[in-house]
Structures are given as C-alpha cells and as structure tokens.
Structure 1
Amino acid sequence: MAASTVVIDQVPPLRRQEAATRAAEENQRFVNCVRALDRADWDRPTDCPSWPVRDVAAHVLGMWELTSSVREFVHVQRGGHRAARGRPLIDGMTEVQVTDRAHLTPAQLVERLATMAPRSARSRHRLPAPLRRLPVKQEFDGTTETWRLGYLFDVIHTRDAWMHRVDIARASGQPLVLTADHDGRIVADVAAEWARRHGQPFRLQLDGPAGGRYAAGDGGEEISLDAVEFCRILSGRGAGTGLLTQQVPF
C-alpha cells in the first residue's frame, strides 16, 4: 500500500474539541459564501428539491438558532411533527424553519447568519456531557437509527452547513473555498463513516483540495472521483453505483 494511502479505520473520529473548531470554521465559511451572493443568486434553484438559495440559507440559519435556543428547539420539534404529515420528522422541521424565515430579506438573512455563526458553534461545544449522551431517533435511508445528541451536534450539523455551502456555490457559480485542513478533514470523516456502514474492502482516490487516498481490506472496488462529488453522491444529490449507493447522513 502506498505511503500516501490512509487505512480508513485509522481516520480518527471528530471528537468534541476538534468538532468545535470545524464548526466555527465552517459556519464562518458559510457566512462568507452568502455574503458574496448577488441579488439574483438568492432565487437560483439548488440541488435541494424546491429550495432556491434563500431557502437553503434560511434552513441553515434555522438550524443554528435551534442549536442555540431551547425555546427554538421545542418550537421546531412541535411544529415539525405537525408539518411532517407522514414524512420523516426532519422534513417537517426544515419546512418550519424555512417558513418561519420566509419574510427575511437576503440582507437580513446574512446579518442573522453572521450573528448566529459563532454563537451556534459555541452552543454546540458547550452541550453538557449528560445531554451529549442522550439517544435521538433519526430516520435515515429508509430506516430509523439511534444517534447520540453529541454526534448530531458535533458531526451532522457541520456536515449539513458544509454541504449546503456546496449547494449554494454550485447554484450561484461562485468559487467553492476548499482547504485540506478543514474540508479535507470533513471529507475524511465522511469517508470513514461510509466505510463503516458498508463494511466492504475498497480503494478510494478522492481528488481536489479536500481529497485523499483511503483503503480498507484486500481488493474490493477501486473508486476514483472528486472529493466534493463523492460527498454529493453519498448525500443523495448524485447517482452512485456499487459501494457509492451506500448513503451517509449530512
């Protein structure tokens, strides 16, 4: 195995302190992304069905406010149950978040995002240990899984903002800022969870600033593609074959 190839089970999980650093950085990059949008960009369609750019930004703002306020968390949970109407709860919750912020102008969205970016990162980091261990039910890929609240706050919320930054960059045509230390770490964590979920041997070559080489076991599929496209496929935004049909939560 080449020295530059990482054995996938040697990729360390995102622990609390590092997760806080990644959250703070990603939140600020998301703010920078929406600040750079032109007026027309806010109405452009994204890879999220029925969501233009402004709705993606409203959802991200809603998640940041949810993680920073118990009152908002309860409001979105209750409203989400009513809005879901047989769909997964998260669909109802995001619908509430977007609807609640539909009156905000792009400038107001940017202002509130800038205010909430550091606050949300701090709130997630300060979540007490007993709450971090709380089990939460999540519907994912057709099944109900049990996650720890700490995993949801440390990992999923950062992946969510990251992927929506990708959505907005693709929709608007603006450059997507990617670095190995930040984006590459998020992608590596995604690849490690993907490997745990499918449990098969593979060789994975991910290109671009956020890329890397990963492997597990002997033989298996050999996969080579752009790192961002890899994540888009695993999130359900693109079509994959073979081991790339294994989705990962974002």
Structure 2
Amino acid sequence: MTTSTTTTIPRRGSAPRTPAIGRDEAMALAAAEYERGAELLQGLEPGQWSAPTVNTGWDVRATAGHVLGMMEMMSSVPQMVGQTLAAQRAARRRKAPTSLDELTALQVRRNAGLGTGELVAKWRAVASKAVRGRRRLPALLRRRAMPELQLIGGQLEPWTFGYLADVILTRDPFMHRLDICAATGLPPHVTAEHDGRIVDDIVHEWADRHGRPYRLELAGPAGGTWGTGEGEPIRLDALDFCRVLSGRGTATGLLTTAVAF
C-alpha cells in the first residue's frame, strides 16, 4: 500500500468500497503477482538492490522488504494482529490520521536484516500462505468496513476488508514491481491476461470515482480503450496511467482523480 502524507479532508457519507473482482479471480491475480515479484527480485544484480525508488527513503531493498512484510501480515492471524496493533500504537503516538506509514515502516525494519538471497527465499516460501490467508477471510468479515479510514487523494474514506484483501493487496505489489523496474531500468513483465486485468479494474474504479464522461486510450500489452460519452481523449501508456493515479507522476484533468493502491 502506497504511503501518503497529504493533508486530510475527511470524506463523509460514502459507503465502504468493495471489490469489483470475484474472489477466485482475485486470488489467481494475487498468486501471479507474487510470482512475478519473486522472478524480478531473483534476477537483480547485487548493485541494483540499493537503487533508490520513487518511494521516499526506500531503495529497492526496502521496497521489497515492505512487500514481503505485507505478505507476511496476511499469512497468519498472529502476524496480522501483531503488525496491525504495533502500527496503530505508533500512529497514536504520532497522532497520525492513519497507521499506514507506521505499518510499512515496521515491515521494512523487520526484514532489513535479511540477505537478498534470504529475502527472495522467504518471499517464495510465504507467497502461497499469503494467498491462502487472503482467500480464507470469512465472508462476514469481508463485507464489514475496516475500523480505520484510509487516506486516498487527500481524503479519508472507508474500505471493506474484502476490498483490502482482494484488490489493494495485489495492486500494492504490482505497483512496487513497477517501482523496482523503474529504479533498475529493467523492463517489467507485462501481459494482457494479468496486468491488463489489473489495469481494467483500476480504470473502472477511476471512472467510478470521478463520475464524468471520458475517453481513455491506453497503450501497451496491458492497455485498451474505455469510455462513457464525449470528452477530450486521454492517451498514454497503461502502466504510466497507473503510476499517475497512484501519485507517481504529473496529473491534469481527470487524471487528478486518485485511485487506491
């Protein structure tokens, strides 16, 4: 999950966001994304682990440590409870509006002592457990709103646990995989079947969030065309579209509508 320190403006009266992807498809995307992350890290040269990323203060090594920590959090109930409570305590001490920054910092610290080979091996070992933990989230809990609001585009909004488990926890490693590729100059592994499905879900959420007519043309294997009504067409690469909506690029017009990652 991408961290943010933007000034908050509480959003009132909005329903908790729910997943638009079915659970079976969501878990297939999760497993594939974890595997692509492992393949990317496995192929890094020693010097590439220290390359700085767009995430302030994080190099490639720290970024991977965060994603691994999030996978560990979903791998078991003790991990989930322990990380969540530790982050919430730290957020209360700092009087932060959300505990996300504290959670991600905790994950980076906990995995900082691993060698790069150990990190990749641990990633592969925990990936299936993380997918299983996400899949086993009870239906009653999936429909419930998370107790803590989430900061997106400068506003606090509610999410269901299902939206977190099925959507965000796949978008997060997807985006950080792109961050690592950008930092190291490596080309990302992109296919229509996997990345294109993630992008399609992001496009529809973006359209739902801004609620205005649009025409969108995204290039690349993950791209396509979308639209409702008339309007000046927006044309860019599919992965750049995701980066912009996540706050990683210059946004104008409808592209200023943030989407959760």
Q: What's the offset of the Cα at 1:98? A: 0.7
Q: Which amino acid aligns with 1:116?
A: V
Q: Does 1:210 align with 2:217?
A: no
**Paired residues of 1:45 and 1:51 also in contact (CA < 8 A):** yes
Q: What's the offset of the Cα at 1:13? A: 2.6
Question: What residue in structure 2 maps to residue 23 of structure 1?
Answer: 30
Superposed, 1:4-153 pairs within 5 Å as 13-84=20-91, 85-87=94-96, 88-136=98-146, 137-153=149-165
Q: 2 CA distance for matches of 1:146 and 1:187?
A: 22
Question: What residue in structure 2 maps to residue 168 of structure 1?
Answer: 180
Superposed, 1:194-233 pairs within 5 Å as 194-216=206-228, 218-233=229-244
1:31 match: secondary structure: helix
The TM-score, its normalising length taken from structure 2, stands at 0.88
**Paired residues of 1:26 and 1:158 also in contact (CA < 8 A):** yes
Question: What residue in structure 1 maps to residue 169 of structure 2?
Answer: 157
**Paired residues of 1:44 and 1:171 also in contact (CA < 8 A):** yes
Q: 2 CA distance for matches of 1:143 and 1:70?
A: 29
Q: What's the offset of the Cα at 1:71? A: 1.3
For 1:48-90, what per-residue CA distance to the aligned partner results, in whole angstroms no more than 9, with x for missing partners? 1110001110000111010112111122122212333133311
Q: 1 CA distance for matches of 2:202 and 2:81?
A: 29
Q: 1 CA distance for matches of 2:48 and 2:191?
A: 24
Q: What's the offset of the Cα at 1:246? A: 0.4
Q: 1 CA distance for matches of 2:27 and 2:110?
A: 27
The TM-score, its normalising length taken from structure 1, stands at 0.92
**Paired residues of 1:28 and 1:118 also in contact (CA < 8 A):** no
Question: What residue in structure 1 maps to residue 252 of structure 2?
Answer: 241
How many residues in Structure 1 have an aligned counterpart in Structure 2? 238
Q: What's the offset of the Cα at 1:141? A: 2.1
For 1:217-236, what per-residue CA distance to the aligned partner results, in whole angstroms no more than 9, with x for missing partners? x2123100000000000000
Large movers: runs of 4+ above 3 Å? none
Q: 1 CA distance for matches of 2:95 and 2:21?
A: 33
Q: 2 CA distance for matches of 1:139 and 1:67?
A: 21
1:221 match: secondary structure: coil
Q: What's the offset of the Cα at 1:127? A: 1.3
Identity %: 48
Q: What's the offset of the Cα at 1:143? A: 2.1
Q: Which amino acid aligns with 1:240?
A: A
For 1:131-173, what per-residue CA distance to the aligned partner results, in whole angstroms no more than 9, with x for missing partners? 2112113222222211110110000000001001001111111
CA RMSD of aligned residues (A): 1.2
Q: 2 CA distance for matches of 1:239 and 1:222?
A: 17
**Paired residues of 1:31 and 1:117 also in contact (CA < 8 A):** no
Q: What's the offset of the Cα at 1:121? A: 1.3
Note the residue ranges of structure 1 that are not aligned, 5 or more in a row: 1-11
Q: Which amino acid aligns with 1:86?
A: K
Q: Which amino acid aligns with 2:49?
A: W
Q: Which amino acid aligns with 1:132?
A: R
